[in-house]
Structure 1
C-alpha cells in the first residue's frame, strides 16, 4: 500500500483559492490521470477517471474502493482508493512561494498514478472576491476580467505531480 498525494501548482494572476467546483472533497469532481502498473511498469494508454461518489465493492472482505483494474500486460489486479480531507485550495501565497498545494490523496495498491489531466469543473476567486465558477482548465490556462476589481485575471503554467506519502 502506497499513498500518493496529488499536488497542483499554477501561476495565478489576481486570483486565489483554485480548487474543484465543490471544494477539495467535491464528490462529483472527475480526477483524470494515467496509471502505471507496479509489477511490470506498463502505462495505461488512456486516462483513468475517478470520482469520489463512484465506488465498487472490494472482491475480498468488506469495504469499497474507487477503482479495481487489471493490468492489460501482466494481468495483475490493482486498486485505487481516494482518501478525503487532505486537500487544500491553491492560494496566491502558495503560488508566490513557488510551492504546490495538496488536492487529493490516493491509496494505491498495485498501481502508481501519473500524468494528472486538468479538465473542467474548477472554481477560483479574484483577490477582490469575484467568484469564477465552472472554470475549464483543459486547454492549460484560463483568462478573464474581474469587473469588480477592474483587472485581468489569469491561470497559467499548470503543473501537477504525485508525491509519495
Structure 2
C-alpha cells in the first residue's frame, strides 16, 4: 500500500491545512479535487507520458473483476490493466504549535492509526498521510500539489484558499480579521510505502 504524504511548516496562526474537496453531505459543495500523479507500469516499467488525474468520487468497474477503482487504464506499451483506488487517510496537516487541545487529542489517534498501517517512520508532527493509494499494475511516483486547492484553517476561525504553483513550496496571505500574515513554507509531498 502506498500513501501520499504532505509536509510543511505552518505559521503559528494556521491551525491546519487540508485539500479542498467535494463534500458528499453538502449539495452546494465544490467539485471533487483532481489529484495529478506520474504513473509507471509495474509490468514493463514504462512511464505514462503525462500526469494522470484521479479523484475520490469517481468509481469505475474493473475489467474481469467485481471491484471498483478510482482510476483504470491499459498500459499503452504492454496492454496490462492498471488501476488505482484512492482513499482518504488523514484529513489534515496539523500545526503542532497551534496550542489547540482538540488537535493534541487527534494527534494521539493519528499515531495509533499510522502504527497499524506500517507508517511508524512518520513520527514528525509536521506531516500528514492524506491519501491511501491502492495501486494494481502500476506505481504512482510523483504528486503534483499544484493540481489541487488547499485550505488553511486559521486560529481566528477563518478559512483561506491556498494554492501552490508549479515548483513553489510556500504560500503567503494576510488574515484581515486578525491583522496578521499567514503562511505555509517548506511544503513538500512524497509517496511512501506503508
TM range (shorter): 0.7 to 0.9
Contact 1:19/1:122, CA 8 A, preserved across alignment: yes
> Deviations 1:112-147 (Å, cap 9, x if unpaired)?
1111011242111223322113x2223423211112
TM-score, structure 2 normalization:
0.72
Q: 1:98 & 1:33 partners in 2: Cα distance? A: 25
Q: Which residue of 1 aligns with 2:156?
A: 128
2:7 is the counterpart of 1:9: yes
Q: Which residue of 1 aligns with 2:185?
A: 156
Q: Which residue of 2 aligns with 1:146?
A: 175
2:93 aligned counterpart, secondary structure: coil
Contact 2:9/2:126, CA 8 A, preserved across alignment: no
Greater per-residue helix proportion: 2
> Deviations 1:90-126 (Å, cap 9, x if unpaired)?
11119xx464201111110111111101124211122
The count of aligned residue pairs is 160
Map 1:1-165 to 2 at 5 A: 3-13=1-11, 14-22=13-21, 28-84=32-88, 86-93=89-96, 97=124, 99-119=126-146, 120-133=148-161, 135-139=162-166, 140=168, 141-165=170-194
> Deviations 1:42-79 (Å, cap 9, x if unpaired)?
22221110011112111113231111122223332211
Q: Provide structure 1 residue ranges, at least 5 long, that are not aligned to the other structure.
A: none
Q: Assess, with a 3 A threshold, how the Cα gap between structure 1 residues 23 and 158 changes in structure 2: closer, same or farther.
A: farther
TM-score, structure 1 normalization:
0.84
